[in-house]
């Protein structure tokens, strides 16, 4: 499951005249899916790696160039260190974390992260560390981002979500990454809503509460 920037499935941007809506403005930053009608931007598939003597293979962290105007919120070392803080049983199903590039298609369906098989993909954020939205943030979206230090500011008819290097790093490591690993550990639920609920719980329990 894809980890959205709003906590909800990604949706296509409404077409508006360029004079009305900046090209970088989002309706919401979505959590897309790696299968089905919501999966909007296929990634490189990393097949699961078999365990050796009951132990998981060493985690691979792959880093692509973030793209012009974007930066990765975390480093490969940040990711590796954070994953190793989890109990082995909770990280045994994770083989790869990829810091992916922002593509033109992904800009149409912006999201923070994606889980696909045994891999997690983390997407870059605007170089300014400011996200521009065309809609008022939903209460759940606002609460979630403010828990990690995100700051919402109204700018005319738009809304800006403002981060610092420290707060966005915290958000990615202890919310986005943990949410996607939560999906890997969810072997029971099948519906989108229940899987999202479980991943949200996992991120709070093993991300937010574990680091506060």
**What is the predicted pLDDT for the residue at 14?**
33
List pLDDT tens digits, range 3-16: 555 444 443 333 33
pLDDT averaged over the chain?
85
Spatial CB neighbours of 128, under 8 Å, sequence gap ≥ 6: none
Task: Give every strand in the sheet of 130-133, ordered side by side.
Answer: 130-133, 158-162, 151-155
Model confidence at 57, in pLDDT bands (50, 70, 90)? confident
pTM here is 0.84
Spatial CB neighbours of 97, under 8 Å, sequence gap ≥ 6: 59, 60, 61, 62, 79, 83, 119, 120, 121, 122, 177
Region 186-210: mean pLDDT is 96
Residues in the chain: 212
List pLDDT tens digits, range 119-167: 999 999 999 999 999 999 999 999 999 999 999 999 999 999 999 999 9
What residue spans of the chain are helical by DSSP H? 76-84, 88-91, 104-108, 139-147, 165-171, 177-185, 192-203
**What is the predicted pLDDT for the residue at 120?**
97
């Amino acid at each position: 499951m894809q980890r959205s920037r709003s906590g909800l499935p990604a949706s296509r941007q409404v077409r508006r005249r360029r004079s009305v809506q900046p090209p970088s403005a989002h309706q919401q930053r979505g959590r897309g899916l790696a299968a089905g009608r919501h999966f909007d931007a296929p990634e490189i598939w990393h097949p699961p790696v078999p365990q050796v003597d009951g132990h998981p293979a060493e985690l691979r962290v792959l880093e692509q160039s973030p793209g012009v105007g974007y930066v990765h919120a975390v480093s490969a070392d940040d990711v590796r260190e954070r994953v190793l803080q989890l109990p082995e049983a909770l990280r045994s199903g994770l083989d790869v974390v990829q810091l992916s590039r922002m593509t033109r298609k992904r800009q149409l369906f912006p999201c923070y992260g994606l889980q696909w098989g045994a891999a997690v993909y983390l997407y870059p954020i605007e170089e300014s560390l400011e996200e521009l939205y065309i809609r008022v943030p939903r209460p759940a979206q606002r609460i979630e981002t403010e828990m990690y230090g995100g700051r919402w500011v109204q700018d005319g008819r738009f809304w800006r979500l403002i981060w610092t290097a420290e707060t966005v790093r915290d958000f990615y490591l202890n919310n986005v990454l943990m949410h996607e690993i939560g999906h890997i550990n969810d072997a029971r639920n099948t519906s989108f809503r229940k899987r999202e609920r479980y991943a949200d719980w996992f991120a709070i329990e093993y991300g937010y509460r574990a680091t506060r």
